[in-house]
Amino acid sequence: MKLKMPKLHNQILIALLLGALFGSFFKINTHRLVLKYEKEKLLIEEKIEKWSKFVFIKHGETIDSLTYGSDQQLEIIAQFAKFKKNKQKYEVVVFNFFNKEQQKLIEENQYQNVLLIDKEETLAQSIKWLGDIFIRLLNMIAVPLVVASLIVGAASLGDIKKFARIGSKTLSLYIGTTAIAITFGLIAANLVAPGEIMNVETKEKLMSVYDSDVSSRLENEVGFSISNMLVELVPKNPFGAIASSEMLQIVFFSVMLGMVLTLIKKEKAEPVINFFDGLSDVMIKLVDIVMLIAPIGVFALIAATVSEFGFDILQTLIWYSLTLIGGLLLHTFGTYSLLLKVFSKIKVIDFFKAIRRVQVIGFTTSSSVATLPVNMEVCHESLGISKSLTSFVLPLGATINMDGTAMYQGVAAIFIAQVFGIDLNIGQQLTIILTAVLASIGTAPVPGVGIIMLIIILKAVGIPQEGIALIMGVDRILDMCRTATNVTGDAAVCCVVASSENEIGKINLDN
């Protein structure tokens, strides 16, 4: 019997499952630390395992708050990172007791000039570079693809009237679905009240492990206002915007250029449009080629993430995580299905069949912009949406439409307020909805930015910003989930706009 190779989207799904299994098999050992220190001008690396007590000593003095038990690997690493940041030097003493109750010492090791204390890399993490190459390839395609396709897309809309019609439909759908997403998030967070269930020890543990991460993020905090956002929309130098992947500015410049191409003489405009049309085709072809290694990339990325964070990290914040994941599932499979059923000619089942590849890539890369090339390819080739629409609606969506991120920001804000015992009134919750819509528009479509924009929302309603320490540990995994929702939202809106414009051709679910 001849074995048939599964189709690409099935290969990617299989890679996701195998990668998660592989990652949980080669999980980071939480009872092991790697220590690098200098001794007689030599750099020595040592593994420490099963310590009973781990102590940082300053000038020969043991301080209680710097003494850690056998299950405090993360706290030890975080404390060392703080010392390193403040350029403080501490001696490290590791004790190993034979009998913990009677504290019979069997071993005591002292280390001076310690340069690094970290977790030990596992096999699953050592293959992460394969995933990094995959993400870089997608990012490499994304910027030229957005520029070329938006220019052609805007130019092919033909006239300003059509452009304004499609633009306003797209924008209102994006903003409307985002507002629905946050409202769901707020309702769920108020009903489940995950912050009220959290115990004080977990709160203190999380605050101490992640407080240095929080202060470094707060240092980078940016001012945020609508006028500022509008000013930032306009690039001073389009090439600078392209070089630094400033997506909103790239979108602004490309749309302007495309529109103005319709206002100049045809014989002048045509070679420019043809050039960008060719470039966009080349980029789409490149996506096909890069997708051949998608199963490897997906496998490596998910294996490394699961091995580092594990799904058990979700347990510490189980109610918060479940509230958000439940909300994301409801929005992804409920709101979008309803939207498609009522306003689109594409069958809901066909949509989800075609889109699963996009969802898996969004989930594993945690980046809407890295997923954009795949989303454009799937919407055009599998769902049959015209290229001029996918070229316009999807890059805009990848940049400004983040339903998952907005819902996450809403749930997180309520959760943190609950943990800190702050009661939010209706006015404050409405402020959260408004700021989360704006913040999600301003969130860059790359991993981990949602949590930075959350700081703005917390500030707007007076919730302590240090509270993000509580959710930092699970952020990576939840970023994956919210990105899958973000990219599904872009595609769903694209289907609705395409249906209303009659820009849908034949569906082809075979590739």
**Residues near ligand ASP, by CB under 6 A:** 366-368, 402, 405, 443, 445-450, 479, 482-483, 486
CA within 13 Å, CB half, 89 = 9
Name the residue nearer to ligand ASP (CB basis): 157 or 396: 396
| Neighbouring residues of 167: CB distance < 8 A, sequence distance ≥ 6 | none
d(CA 9, CA 256): 36
Name the residue nearer to ligand ASP (CB basis): 486 or 488: 486
Name the residue nearer to ligand ASP (CB basis): 290 or 453: 453
Q: Centre a 10 Å sphere on the Cβ of residue 430 and count the other Cβ atoms it contains.
A: 14
And the tokens for 318? Answer: 């189980």
Name the residue nearer to ligand ASP (CB basis): 114 or 457: 457
Shortest CA distance to 297 belongs to which of 503, 129, 441?
129
- Taking the complex as a whole, how short is the minimal distance between the CB of residue 141 and ligand ASP, in angstroms? 16
**Residue in the structure block whose two tokens are 């395609």:** 141
- Taking the complex as a whole, how short is the minimal distance between the CB of residue 374 and ligand ASP, in angstroms? 13
And the tokens for 209? Answer: 């492990």
Name the residue nearer to ligand ASP (CB basis): 380 or 482: 482
| Neighbouring residues of 61: CB distance < 8 A, sequence distance ≥ 6 | none
Pair type for strands 114-118 and 32-39: antiparallel
- Taking the complex as a whole, how short is the minimal distance between the CB of residue 380 and ligand ASP, in angstroms? 21
- Taking the complex as a whole, how short is the minimal distance between the CB of residue 122 and ligand ASP, in angstroms? 24
Task: Give alpha helix (H) positions in 331-367.
Answer: 336-343, 348-365
- Taking the complex as a whole, how short is the minimal distance between the CB of residue 479 and ligand ASP, in angstroms? 5
Name the residue nearer to ligand ASP (CB basis): 12 or 454: 454
User: Helix or strand or coil: residue 110?
Assistant: strand
Cβ contact 495:346 at 8 Å: yes
d(CA 190, CA 180): 15
Pair type for strands 104-111 and 32-39: unpaired
d(CA 298, CA 480): 12
- Taking the complex as a whole, how short is the minimal distance between the CB of residue 480 and ligand ASP, in angstroms? 8
Name the residue nearer to ligand ASP (CB basis): 16 or 135: 135
d(CA 459, CA 457): 5
Name the residue nearer to ligand ASP (CB basis): 135 or 463: 135
Residue nearest to ligand ASP (CB): 450
- Taking the complex as a whole, how short is the minimal distance between the CB of residue 487 and ligand ASP, in angstroms? 7
How is 5-41 classified by DSSP, letter by letter?
PPPHHHHHHHHHHHHHHHHHHTPPPTTEEEEEEEETT
Pair type for strands 61-68 and 91-99: unpaired
- Taking the complex as a whole, how short is the minimal distance between the CB of residue 406 and ligand ASP, in angstroms? 9
Name the residue nearer to ligand ASP (CB basis): 111 or 363: 363
Name the residue nearer to ligand ASP (CB basis): 262 or 483: 483
Name the residue nearer to ligand ASP (CB basis): 307 or 367: 367
What phi and psi values does residue 262 have, to the nearest 5 degrees? -80, -10
d(CA 182, CA 306): 28
Q: Phi-psi region for residue 60, left (φ > 0), alpha (ψ -120 to 50) or beta? A: left
**Residue in the structure block whose two tokens are 């580092």:** 308
- Taking the complex as a whole, how short is the minimal distance between the CB of residue 221 and ligand ASP, in angstroms? 15
Distances (CA, A) of 169 to 159, 174, 257, 495, 498: 16, 9, 21, 12, 10
- Taking the complex as a whole, how short is the minimal distance between the CB of residue 495 and ligand ASP, in angstroms? 19
- Taking the complex as a whole, how short is the minimal distance between the CB of residue 344 and ligand ASP, in angstroms? 23
